[in-house]
Chain A
């Protein structure tokens, strides 16, 4: 395996190994929908339709688990540039952080999902292990997940076929995030705008959900965006 790991930087620490999980010249980064060749579909496929699909691939996703004390919350805020959303089912996004664009999603009372650009994940992990005291766990799950952005005039109609959560704007405002069942798999759904949703899905279910979304969008027309 030495030919594979030669360009992977491993930063040794007292208690924690943080690995830079980035593609390199000889290590190709492939999203779970690599085989679907979305770029060609975007180029040659339909240009108009009620549902727009975009895979935001190869992002940096980190799972933070802790019951943060006030000191930890302050430190996390200074590390991420944004405070942890402590209210259930809420999320925050900032593009003014030193870490670039940072999104934090509430998952459960002691769990958050941090979404950043791929090249920032290792830095955040290192900073957390260097600076954050107390009991916590931060795990890079970038390789196990991918993000679908679905939008368009009929996106809510398409999602209604797929998930039991109430998507009406009065129950599901912009910024709300839920983990729920999606088709016969699961997804974390966040409303980014009135007609735009983000689905965080498991890598192994990405192909199934891509096929599902194509089928569910058929009557509205599906536009793939590069």
Chain B
């Protein structure tokens, strides 16, 4: 059971009040008509499934009904950071391998 901090209500609430809405920071192509089928298909259907740090979109469905982002470690389930939509995460996976 997660204990999640809602950045709009400014307090921790039970996971029961929230709903996960998938991967965060997916931007819709500006000109869908100009997309190839592959580009459109990847925007629509293909999601990252990392082991480690993952940025997710959540909604406080039973509370303020606002969306916000969570940075979560998919192995430990630890919530590393909560930030509002439009803000940049301060904790990101180290891409240099």
Chain A positions within 8 Å of B, measured between CB atoms, are 88-89, 107-109, 111, 164-165, 178-181, 186
| Dominant secondary structure of chain A at its interface with chain B | strand
Within B52-81, the residues touching A (CB, 8 Å) are 62-66
If over half of B's interface residues share one DSSP class (helix, strand or loop), that class is named, otherwise mixed; here it is loop
Tell me the complex Cα distance, A76–B8, Å: 22
Given contacts A179-B62, A180-B62, contact A108 B17 (CB under 8 A): no
- Collect the chain A residues with CB atoms within 8 Å of residue B66's CB: 108-109
Q: Interface size (B, Cβ < 8 Å)?
A: 13
B95 on the interface (CB 8 Å rule)?
Answer: no
B9–A88 CB distance below 8 A: yes
Between A and B, how many residue pairs show CB distances below 8 Å? 38
Binary A-proximity of B17-47 (CB < 8 A = 1, otherwise 0): 1000000000000000000000000000000
Contacts of B14 in A (CB 8 A): 164-165
B8 lies within 8 A of A181 (CB): no
A67 to chain B, nearest CB (A): 13
Instruction: Let me know if B10 and A88 touch, CB within 8 A.
Output: yes
Q: Are B8 and A180 in touch, CB under 8 angstroms?
A: no
A181–B8 CA distance with the chains assembled, in angstroms: 17
Check A89 against B10 for contact (C-beta < 8 Å). yes
Which chain B residues border A178 with CB–CB below 8 Å? Answer: 9, 63
- Does B11 lie at the interface of the complex (its beta carbon under 8 Å from any beta carbon of A)? yes
Top 7 nearest A-B pairs (CB, nearest first) are A108-B64, A164-B14, A181-B62, A88-B10, A179-B63, A186-B62, A88-B9
Is the beta-carbon distance between A164 and B65 smaller than 8 angstroms? no
Bound together, the chains give a CA A180 to CA B17 distance in angstroms of 6
Q: Which residues of A contact B63 (CB under 8 A)?
A: 108, 178-180
In the bound complex, CA of A223 to CA of B8 (Å):
37
Q: Which of A109, A164, A165, A186 contacts B8 (CB 8 A)?
A: A109
